[in-house]
Each structure stands twice: as structure tokens, then as C-alpha cells.
């Protein structure tokens, strides 16, 4: 019998393949590649959703300040987003830090960087949020249909 | 980092974007404004990044690859009215950063859209146009296009800025859109225009086969895209030998030139190729692959002598083969623009 974790893992692979196909079709990345990794995490541990949202918002906001006022761009900006994200996750999930949290910690930063470096930031943010919601919903439905535990 | 962002201190800002002719256009507009009692700054990029501030020239030293930080301007340079900068970005992201953070232009000029930097921008001219149009920020009031392809202009057109196209009176002449764009820009900013025909004659006199030691050739090594190379080849006429320098860091360019040769966009006799992937390229085009060295260049020279037909050198200047070959043919320096760059005037060094 397939476990929920296995299903979540496989859904990540499928999600990444879908984003790759979209990229091949439109020629750019319209959805952050962090989304298929974030969605199963949230499905498995709904209590971390707030930390992820805070991580994305704080990284995006501070990252924008570094971009506009300190002229950070490219790989510098990528590092900044990830470091901010790791610090925010560290603070918000301080009481429950484990290996999972460590692996999760850079994903909100990656999301913020993908939005920052996309052609149309608003569109990428909205499409990523939609994809995230669809991914979590699909997992919920699949878990119930397949009755996995 | 010491310096100032152009948008903070200069009221009129123009970004020169597009594939070919950016440096020429930026310098042309600058050289027309500089003598008219107006403070003007111009930044050109490429192999030799230069900043012109009124009548001074600053040669910018690069440490490693080109960075957008070289668009930060020195402080205490007095009041400037106009800023003309070549957009040095080669990806959507860097072009956007240049517009959004460094320059914030009110006017963007797109000289033309051709198959260059395809690995970053897309493999068709339409995709490249769409990619470049996504780098136009909300501050832009005017987008001026020198592109004559209506399909491309439709992609560039957007609601929030004025869009205009200029048409060259001699469209078959490669680069003829540059003086026309310059003339339009100058008039638009309240200056008297230029003698477009004088410039066109100048381009025409440059665009011809050259002869040295009995060898006929054209130095198109600064022409890095197949669209422009075929335009120039068509203008020059004949069925030449194409000598191509490839670069490891420009796989998209290799792909685009391969497309040009295999689809026979122009008539040619045969292809000599050097640099990375030259064996594969030669195999696919029935051409000759030569080593990326001075020995390879000597061999190319021998072939040119044997065949006795004009040779068109293109692709890149960044290879030992092409540099040696140009030296053997007596070509010195880089033809940047129509005019002479006043390099010797007030040359200062900036780290």
C-alpha cells in the first residue's frame, strides 16, 4: 500500500514535470519551481504553512530593498533571498527545528527569487499561488480516493 | 561602491537596446548633442566599455566578465541634461535590471531584432521581441523601433507607452536604420536633425569587399548574428567563402549560424569554421574545420589564396584563429562606429 509520503513525493515529481512542460511551451518559467516541493510539505505538515507564507513575504520584501537600494542582482540576490528565508524559518519554527525544517528553509527564498527574476512578477506570483493550491487540493483528493495512509 | 545612479541625477534618459547598432546609435546621438552646450553622458559597452561625459572619455576597467555596476556614474560631474546608455544586458533579467534599477529610461530605442543570444531570449525573432518587450518598464514613455517587420512591431507595441517606427530610405543597406533613428531621436529632443544621407553614404562606402595582398575579404567578425551576416552578405554580393569563428560560451550563436548555413539564407561557396564545436559544424555543413590557432589561420589564408574568391569573416572576434587571421590580413582595431572614437582625448582610468 502506498503511503501518504510516497504519494506526496511522487506528486512533487509530477509537479516539476508540469512546470518543465510549461517552460518548454511558453519559453520562460511562469511558475516557481519551489511550488511542487512546498505543496507536499504543507499537505503533510499544515502547521508550517504560516512559516512558509511569512518566509516568502519577508524574503520578497527585504530582497526588494537589497535590489532597489543596494543594487543586488543575479546570484547575489539569490543568496540574499535564501539566507533571509532560512533565518525567517529558523525564527518561526524555532521550537520544532529538525531535518525537515532544514531542507524546507530555503524554499520560500527560492519562491521569492523565482518571482523576482521572472518576466512578469505579478503573473508569476499569482500563477504560482494557483498551482500551489491546485497541488495541495489534488493531493487531498488523491489521498481520499486512493485511501492511502 | 562610489557613484550615482543615472536616473537620480540626469533628467532625460535614453536606453539603446536591440541586437545590432546599439553602440553606433548611442555614440551618434551623443556626438551630436555634445557640441550644443548641453550636459550629456553616454555609456557604450561591448569589448571596450567607455563612458563619455561631455567631452571627456573614461575607459572602464573590467575585472572579469561585464557587470551592470559599470553603469553607475561618477559623482561630482556637474549638471547633466541627457543620458544615453547602451543596454548591455543579454538576458531578459539583466536587461530588466538595467532598466528598472540603473537607468529608468523614459525612451527606449530598439535598433532591430535579430537572432542573437538565442539561448537566453528565444529561438525565433518573435520570441526575442517578446522577451525584450517584457524588459520595458512602466517609466517608459516612448518606444522607438527601427525594425521594419510588422509582426515584430506588433509584439513590441503595448498600451502604456507611445510606440513609433522609423523607416530607412534605403532599407536594403544594412545598418541604415541607425542614422534614421538618430535623426528622429535628436529631433524629438528638440535638436536639429542630422544629414541622414551623408551617414548612409558613409555606411555604403564601408560596406564593400576589401583587398589586401591579392586577397579579397570583408571583416564581419563583429557581426555576431546570422540575420545581420546574411544582410551584409547580400549587400556585398558574390558567392563567398564564409569563415566563421565559434565560441564555447555562445552555443545559441553556433546554433543560429548552423541554421543560416544549412538553410542557405545566402549563396556561399563553402564554409571554414574554427573554435568550439567546429568539427560538428563542419560535418553538418560539408565545411572545413580548422584549429583555433594561428596555424589554423595560416591554413585559412592558404585556402583563400587557392580558391581566389572573396572571404566573409564572421561569428566572433573572440578567438585566436580569427584574431590571427585579421592580423595576417592587416586589419587593426575594432570598427566601433561611423565616427572616430576620441580615445586619446582626456583619457582617464576608472577601476
B285 in Cβ contact with B315 (< 8 Å): no
Which among A87, A94, A90, A132 is positioned nearest to A111, based on CA atoms? A132
The string of DSSP codes covering A94-140 is: GGG--HHHHHHTTHHHHHHHHHHTSSSHHHHHHHHHHHHHHHHHHHH
Give the C-alpha separation, A37 to A132, whole Å: 9
Give the C-alpha separation, B272 to B278, whole Å: 9
CB contact under 8 A, B69 and A71: yes
Q: What is the sign, positive or negative, of the torsion defined by CA atoms of B178, B180, B185, B191? A: positive
Query: What's the pLDDT at B2?
Result: 74
- Chain A residue nearest residue B101, CA to CA: A68
**Interface probe with B: pick from A63, A65, A73, A75, most Cβ of B within 10 Å:** A73
Mean pLDDT of chain B, nearest integer = 90
Three-state secondary-structure class, residue B253: helix
CB contact under 8 A, A28 and B131: yes
In this predicted structure, the answer to whether residue A105 has a pLDDT above a threshold of 70 is yes
The set of residues, in sequence order, having a beta carbon less than 8 Å from that of B243 and lying 6+ positions away, is: B271, B272, B273, B274, B300, B304, B311, B312, B313, B314, B322, B325
Label residue B37 by pLDDT band (50, 70, 90): confident
- Span(s) in chain B for CATH 3.40.1190.10: 6-201
The string of DSSP codes covering B11-60 is: SEEEEEESSSSHHHHHHHHHHHHTTTT--EEEEE-SSS-EEEETTEEEEE
The mean pLDDT of A22-44, rounded to a whole number, is 93
pLDDT digits (tens, 9 = 90+) for A125-143: 999 999 999 999 999 999 9
A82 in Cβ contact with A90 (< 8 Å): no
In this predicted structure, the answer to whether residue B341 has a pLDDT above a threshold of 90 is no
Query: Cα(first)–Cα(last) distance of chain A, in Å?
Result: 8
A66 in Cβ contact with A96 (< 8 Å): no
CB contact under 8 A, A119 and B134: yes
- Span(s) in chain B for CATH 3.90.190.20: 208-328
What residues are paired with B59 via a beta bridge? Answer: B50, B349
Residue reference for cell 548552423: B258
DSSP code of residue A45? -
B16 in Cβ contact with B337 (< 8 Å): no
Query: What's the pLDDT at A148?
Result: 72
Label residue A149 by pLDDT band (50, 70, 90): low
Q: Is the ipTM of this complex over 0.95?
A: no
- Chain A residue nearest residue B121, CA to CA: A27
- Chain B residue nearest residue A71, CA to CA: B101
Give the distance from residue A117's alpha carbon to the nearest chain B alpha carbon, in angstroms.
6
Give the C-alpha separation, B196 to B193, whole Å: 8
Q: Which grid cell is B283?
A: 560535418
pLDDT digits (tens, 9 = 90+) for B159-201: 789 999 999 999 999 999 999 999 999 999 999 999 999 999 9
Strands B50-53 and B56-60: antiparallel
CB contact under 8 A, A71 and B93: no
φ/ψ of residue B200, rounded to 5: -65, -40
Give the distance from residue A119's alpha carbon to the nearest chain B alpha carbon, in angstroms.
6
Q: Which grid cell is B53?
A: 561625459
Inter-chain Cβ pairs, chain A and chain B, closer than 8 A:
29
Q: Which residue has the higher pLDDT, B287 or B75?
A: B287
Query: Cα(first)–Cα(last) distance of chain B, in Å?
Result: 11
B274 in Cβ contact with B246 (< 8 Å): yes
CB contact under 8 A, B131 and A68: no
- Chain A residue nearest residue B96, CA to CA: A119
CATH number assigned to the domain with residue range B208-328, chosen from the 4 options 3.90.190.20, 2.40.30.110, 3.40.50.720, 1.10.3720.10:
3.90.190.20
Residue B127 has its nearest CB partner, among A27, A73, A117, at: A27
Record: fold of B6-201 = 3.40.1190
Amino acid at each position: 500500500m502506498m503511503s501518504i509520503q510516497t504519494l506526496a513525493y511522487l506528486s512533487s515529481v509530477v509537479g516539476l514535470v508540469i512546470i518543465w512542460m510549461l517552460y518548454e511551451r511558453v519559453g520562460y518559467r511562469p511558475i516557481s519551481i519551489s511550488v511542487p516541493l512546498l505543496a507536499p510539505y504543507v499537505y503533510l505538515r499544515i502547521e508550517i504553512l504560516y512559516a512558509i507564507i511569512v518566509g516568502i513575504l519577508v524574503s520578497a520584501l527585504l530582497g526588494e530593498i537589497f535590489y532597489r537600494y543596494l543594487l543586488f542582482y543575479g546570484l547575489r540576490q539569490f543568496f540574499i533571498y535564501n539566507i533571509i528565508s532560512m533565518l525567517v524559518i529558523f525564527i518561526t519554527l524555532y521550537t520544532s527545528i529538525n531535518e525537515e525544517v532544514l531542507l524546507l528553509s530555503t524554499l520560500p527564498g527560492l519562491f521569492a527569487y523565482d518571482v523576482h527574476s521572472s518576466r512578469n512578477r505579478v503573473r508569476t506570483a499569482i500563477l504560482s499561488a494557483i498551482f500551489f493550491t491546485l497541488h495541495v487540493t489534488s493531493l487531498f483528493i488523491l489521498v481520499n480516493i486512493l485511501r492511502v495512509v | 561602491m562610489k557613484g550615482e545612479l543615472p536616473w537620480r541625477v540626469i533628467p532625460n534618459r535614453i536606453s539603446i537596446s536591440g541586437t545590432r547598432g546599439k553602440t553606433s546609435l548611442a555614440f551618434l546621438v551623443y556626438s551630436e548633442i555634445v557640441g550644443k552646450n548641453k550636459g550629456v553622458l553616454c555609456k557604450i559597452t561591448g569589448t571596450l566599455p567607455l563612458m563619455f561625459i561631455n567631452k571627456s572619455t573614461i575607459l572602464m576597467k573590467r575585472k572579469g566578465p561585464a557587470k551592470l555596476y559599470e553603469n553607475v556614474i561618477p559623482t561630482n560631474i556637474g549638471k547633466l541634461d541627457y543620458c544615453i546608455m547602451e543596454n548591455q544586458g543579454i538576458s531578459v533579467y539583466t536587461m530588466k535590471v538595467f532598466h528598472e534599477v540603473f537607468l529608468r529610461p523614459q525612451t527606449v530605442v530598439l535598433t532591430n531584432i535579430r537572432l542573437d543570444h538565442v539561448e537566453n531570449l528565444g529561438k525565433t525573432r518573435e520570441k526575442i521581441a517578446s522577451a525584450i518587450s517584457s524588459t520595458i518598464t512602466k517609466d517608459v514613455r516612448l518606444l522607438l523601433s527601427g525594425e521594419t517587420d510588422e509582426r515584430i512591431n506588433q509584439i513590441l507595441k503595448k498600451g502604456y507607452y507611445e510606440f513609433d517606427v522609423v523607416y530607412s530610405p534605403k532599407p536594403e543597406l544594412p545598418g541604415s536604420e541607425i542614422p534614421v533613428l538618430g535623426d528622429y531621436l535628436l529631433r524629438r529632443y528638440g535638436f536639429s536633425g542630422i544629414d541622414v544621407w551623408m551617414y548612409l553614404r558613409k555606411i555604403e562606402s564601408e560596406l564593400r569587399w576589401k583587398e589586401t595582398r591579392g586577397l579579397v575579404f570583408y571583416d564581419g567578425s563583429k557581426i555576431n548574428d546570422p540575420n545581420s551576416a546574411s544582410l551584409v552578405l547580400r549587400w556585398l554580393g558574390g558567392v563567398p567563402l564564409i569563415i566563421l569563428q565559434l565560441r564555447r560560451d555562445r552555443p545559441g550563436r553556433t546554433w543560429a549560424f548552423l541554421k543560416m548555413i544549412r538553410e542557405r539564407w545566402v549563396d556561399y561557396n563553402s564554409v571554414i569554421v574554427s573554435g568550439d564545436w567546429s568539427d560538428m559544424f563542419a560535418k553538418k555543413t560539408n565545411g572545413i574545420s580548422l584549429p583555433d590557432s594561428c596555424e589554423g589561420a595560416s591554413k585559412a589564408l592558404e585556402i583563400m589564396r587557392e580558391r581566389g574568391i572573396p572571404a566573409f569573416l564572421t561569428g566572433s572576434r573572440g578567438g585566436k584563429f580569427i584574431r590571427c587571421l585579421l592580423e595576417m590580413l592587416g586589419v587593426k582595431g575594432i570598427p566601433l562606429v561611423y565616427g572616430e572614437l576620441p580615445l586619446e582625448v582626456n583619457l582617464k582610468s576608472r577601476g
